[in-house]
Every structure is written in C-alpha cells, then in structure tokens.
Amino acid sequence: MPLSFFNTLSGKVEEFKPLEAGRVRMYTCGPTVYDYAHIGNFRTFVFQDILRRHLKYRGYQILHVMNVTDVDDKTIANSQAAGVPLREFTTRYIQAFQADRELLNLETPELVVRASDHIPDIVKVIQTLIEKGYAYASEGSYYFRVQKFSDYGKLSKLDFSGMRVGARVDADKYEKDSARDFALWKTAKPGEPAWDTPLGRGRPGWHIECSVMAMKYLGETFDIHSGGSDLIFPHHENEIAQSESATGKPFARYWLHSEHLIVNGEKMSKSAGSFYTLRDLVAKGYKPTAIRYLLASVPFRKPLNFTFDGLRQAEQSLDRLRNFLYRLSHEQFSPGENPQLAKHANETRAEFEAALDDNLNTAEALAAVFNLVRDANTAMDRGEFREGDKAFFANVLERWEEIFAVLKDDDYDKLRKGGYLQERHVAAPPLEPERNREGILQLGTLSDEQIEDSIREREQARRQADYARADRIRQELLEAGILLEDTKGGTRWKRK
RNA sequence: GGCGCGGUACCCAAGUGGUAAGGGAGAGGUCUGCAAAACCUUUAUGCGGGAGUUCGAUUCUCCCCCGCGCCUCCA
C-alpha cells in the first residue's frame, strides 16, 4: 500500500501525493501559550511528530511550520493576572513548551512562528478580504462574512442551511451581520495589548494568524495541515474560508486530525483532578519516554484513554524492548549468520514501514517489532543467534527508532539537566539507618558512581557467598529506584 | 437534535467476508544462590445488542444501546 492518510476533507483514506515531488509542506497548529501544555495537547503533538518523522523516513524533504498563539483572550487574561507583560509572559510558556517537547523527543519544526510577529502580514490579508467583499467593519472590528463563502462547512461537514443559531450567545453577536461571522480583527479594548495598523488599533482574531502564517511560509496551497479534532470546527473551517476567499485557490490539501485523549473515560478536567501536564507526570516519577510510547502506541484516529495503569503498561512494554537491545549489544554469540533471522529482521522492517504507510498504524508497527524481539530472544536462548545477525537487528531497531524515538533511556539525564528532578526529592522508603543518613538513597538522586560502588560491594559479597548482604544491597538500590540484573556479562543496572 | 470517532479477552490494542496480531497483567514450567531478564505453556467458538444479506460475518446492510468529542474558548 502506498503512503496514505485519512483526509478529513474527503472523509476517506487517500494516497498521499505532495504538490512537489519529494517535498512536503506541512503546517500544524501549535499551542496557545497561556499555561503549560497538558498531555492531551501532547497526544496531538506526538502524532504530528510521528507524521513528520515518517515523511522524512520515506525520503521527503520537509518544511514544517508550527504556530504559537501568543495573543488571544487567554494569554492576555493570564498575563494580566500574573502582572507580566504579554510578550514576556508568553515567551516563558514557549520556553516551557520547548523544554517539554525535548523531553518527549519531539523534533523541532523547521519554523516555529508567533502570531504577534506577523501583524503586518495579517493586516494585509484582512485588507485583501475587505477588497474582495468577504470582510466588513463593525464598531472598529472586522468580520468575515461566512455567507459569501459557499464552501463553508466542507471540512467539518456541518450543514448550516436552516440551522438555528446555537444557544451560546457570543458577546460580539450584535456587532456582526450574522451570528456565524467570525472576527478577523478585534478593536482595542482599554488596558489590552494592541497594534496601530491601517485597520485601526487592535489585535488579530484567532483564526487569521494560521491562514496568514501558513500561506506566508508554505505558499497559498500546501500539502498537509493538522491539529486536534476539536479544531476542525470552527478553527480550520474558518482558516479555509479566509484563505480560499483571499486567494481563490485551495488551501491545505490533506487535513489530518487526531482524536482526543481522555482520562479515565472522561474529558480532562481541573475540577475532577484529572488534568495533567507533562511536569505533573514527571513529578509522579513517570518517564517521558514511557509517556511518549503510550501516546504513540494508539493510532491517532482513535480516542486514547489515559490511565496510570496504561502508563505503567507502557513502561513495561518499553522495558521489554530495551532489555532486548541490551542483550543485543552486550551478549556474545557464536560467529556466523543465521539466514532465517536476517530474513525475519528484513521482513519486520517491511512490516512496520507498511503499517506506518497505512495511515500511521503505530499499533501494528509496534506488533511487528515485538514479534521480531520474541523470536530473536528465543534464538538467543537456544544458541541459534549468531554474531553476524546483530547488524540486521541493530539496523531494524535503528530504523524503527527513527519514528518512535523511545528506546534510548536518557530520561534521567534529561530530567536532571532540565531541572525537573528538583521536585523529586521524595523520602525513600525505610532503609538501614546508616545508609539513609548518608542521604544518598533518595529517589532519583543516586549518582552513577554511587550505584556502581554499591554493585561492586555486592559483587564482593556474592563471591564470598554472603547472599544475605548481597540481597540487602540489591533491595536498597531497588528502593532507591535502581534495578539490578545479574547477567552472564556481569551485573546490569537501570533506573526504574 | 445534527455531525464525527469509538465499543474486540482482566487491562491496552491490531485486524480481516473464511474462521481472532501484539503488549501488559495472572497461572504453571525452564534457567538462576535467590531475584530480575529471557524462553515455553496457558487465559475470547468470541469481536456492544438484535435482525438481515451470504455457503460462511467480528468484518457488509439496517435498527437499537453505551462512551467520547464537536455544533463558534478548547490539541
């Protein structure tokens, strides 16, 4: 099957063919930076990351633009509440967002652009819309006249003919000719940030920034646009209306939307205590790579029910893969090659590639690799694995990792460098008094040297057949979050 | 009410008109000083419910039930 995606616009899985051979122009809706992003947001961002990684894997050169909404009602309200100027306030959250992205191994798009840096571009497009009769002014604000755009509703499949106006009454309703019209430009309100422009003093509406920035960097027609399913209406519908009215050309060709993450079967909510940021989960001791694994493991078109049990399962699954990787790199095998294994390795690569081509079926891509791992482990246990097979397996896993980016166990280093571990000085469970006094057995605080010292101590005890002491050391380390495994090649340790 | 996404074993989850991938968890076993890891065996005559089409449906059609989302704040 050729590379195919479910396109919201057509409602079908379609073969993907970019406008320009070998090149993909892609726009993704990024965060509104009024607070830390939550794991529901990251579900979408992980999906977008898998998307861009797979496109790269398939040899496309990518130009990926992600916006940051840094001027809207929420950013203004929160910055004012914090007593910090808007620009400074949003910059803080952009930095926090980038730090979270790095923890989750999300690649940085070629361009990350801020709405507030594009005011003149926005004004120009609004002026075009006014000239073409799609926009009108009212009390200092400008609105898009939805009725003028006959294709309105083609993305969301909403039928507006004869539909009564929704129960929710917008504050701007009486300024608009029609309740469905939406703001392109909002006139300045006292005390709010505003720009002096030919349109008057004010700020952009929400939707226009994406139309403007996407077209500025990607052209009037580009390949892929994506975001969470809640953006289909009104945000993306309005982007299409504005952009296509301004240019007379199709806007984005493929629209990809990820389904939402829910928590314990319900929408995340602060009042229900089910609202989690990445930091919240890290503070609870979960690894970012396990979180990425969980978010990536469910195909993007399926709602993902987040539970802590599910997160623990993800950790276990990931450990299985990492354990195999460890065996692969640390065990010695007899010389030669096992042709059957090499064949299986190559087949596995074809399988996970085909799975991803099929609308990014990550679950199937995972299954292919687990099947290979099981068979390789079996071969290793039976002595049928050969030194020459290593390369095939390493290659398959490396290729797989280009997409999933979860195998490298560098969470601890990244968390420490990012200052995340400061929140993790949790008191260790009861331990031997003299060790506890040293203060070195707190969770996540043992250095590699300290761990290796303890392991040497235990090795000595084992040689002397003092298993009680050896087991005690192992238990202490375990309580400090360090797991030991005695392998043929010596004792291996890892951070739980 | 309209539109959309789902409902597969204890949990997560793939998938197909021809008889259910994979992961986690549990149980038994092998290995190990013991663990851990790994391996082997085992856990859905069943795929929300009902009717229909068919030689045959979990997979197609219709109706119904349930969960989630959207219907101008929302990834």
User: pLDDT digits over A434-449, tens only?
Assistant: 233 222 233 456 788 8
Q: What pLDDT shows up at residue A444?
A: 55
Domain count, chain A: 3
Using the C1' atom of nucleotide B38, identify the protein residue whose alpha carbon is closest: A377
Based on the number of CB atoms within 10 Å of its own CB, is A442 exposed (0-12), middle (13-18) or buried (19 or more)?
middle
Q: Is residue A265 in a domain?
A: no
Nucleotides of chain B within 7 Å of a protein C-beta?
Answer: 2-6, 11-15, 21-25, 32-40, 67-75
Q: Is the CB of A227 under 7 A from strand B?
A: yes
Are A431 and A394 within one domain?
A: no
- The values of phi and psi at residue A146, to 5°, are -60, -35
DSSP-derived secondary structure for A164-199: PPPS---TTGGGSSSTT-EEEEEE--TTS--EEETT
The H or E element that residue A224 is part of is: strand A222-228
Q: Do both A434 and A392 map to the same domain?
A: no
pLDDT for residue A174: 55
Domain co-membership, A228 together with A357 = no
A327 CA, B37 C1': Å apart: 9
Q: Given this model, what pLDDT does residue A433 score?
A: 28
Q: Which residue is nearest to nucleotide B74 (CA to C1')?
A: A230
pLDDT tens profile A11-32 = 889 999 999 999 999 999 999 9
Same domain, A160 and A245: yes
CA of A359 to C1' of B72 (A): 30
Same domain, A116 and A39: yes
Work out the pLDDT band at A203, boundaries 50, 70, 90. very high
Q: Which pLDDT score, from 0 to 100, does residue A177 have?
A: 81
CB A109 within 8 A of CB A64: yes
**Model confidence pLDDT, tens digit, residues A308-343:** 999 999 999 999 999 999 999 988 899 999 999 999
Report the relative pairing of strands A200-204 and A195-197 from DSSP bridges.
Answer: antiparallel
Residue at a domain's end among A198, A228, A258: A258
Contacts 24+ apart (CB under 8 A), A195-204: A195/A119, A197/A119, A197/A120, A197/A123, A198/A123, A198/A127, A199/A123, A199/A126, A199/A127, A199/A142, A200/A140, A202/A140, A202/A141, A203/A71, A204/A71, A204/A115, A204/A119, A204/A122
Which residue has better confidence, A111 or A434? A111
Listed residue (A118, A134, A89, A94) closest to A210, CA to CA: A118
Q: Helices in A331-427 by DSSP H: which ranges? A: 339-357, 362-381, 390-404, 411-417
d(CA A396, CA A102): 24
Report chain A's mean pLDDT, rounded to a whole number.
Answer: 88
The predicted model gives A233-259 an average pLDDT of 95
Q: Which of residues 30-59 of A touch strand B (CB under 7 A)?
A: 31-32, 40-41, 43-44
Is the domain of A60 the same as that of A162? yes
CB of A233 within 7 Å of some strand B atom: yes
Q: Among A86-90, A108-112, A146-150, A394-398, whose mean pLDDT is lowest?
A: A146-150
Q: pLDDT at position A489, please?
A: 76
In which domain, by residue range, is A338 found?
278-404
Residues A38 and A136 in one domain: yes
Among A166-175, A269-278, A420-429, which range has the highest average pLDDT?
A269-278
In a domain, A384, yes or no: yes
Of A225, A258, A291, which marks where a domain is finished?
A258
Mean per-residue pLDDT for A184-194?
93
The answer to whether some atom of strand B lies closer than 7 Å to the beta carbon of A299 is yes
CA–C1' A432–B75 (A): 47
pLDDT of A155-182, one tens digit each? 998 876 644 443 344 444 457 888 889 9
Q: Is residue A136 part of a domain?
A: yes
Encoding tokens for residue A203? 């700020």
> A363 CA, B8 C1': separation in Å?
15
Distance CA A58, CA A347 (A): 17
Say if residue A282 is in the same domain as residue A245. Answer: no
Q: What is the CATH number of the domain that holds A194?
A: 3.40.50.620
Is A465's pLDDT higher than 70?
yes
Closest residue (Cα, C1') to B32: A486
The confidence score (pLDDT) of residue A482 equals 85
Predicted local confidence at residue A271, as pLDDT: 72
pLDDT of A173: 47
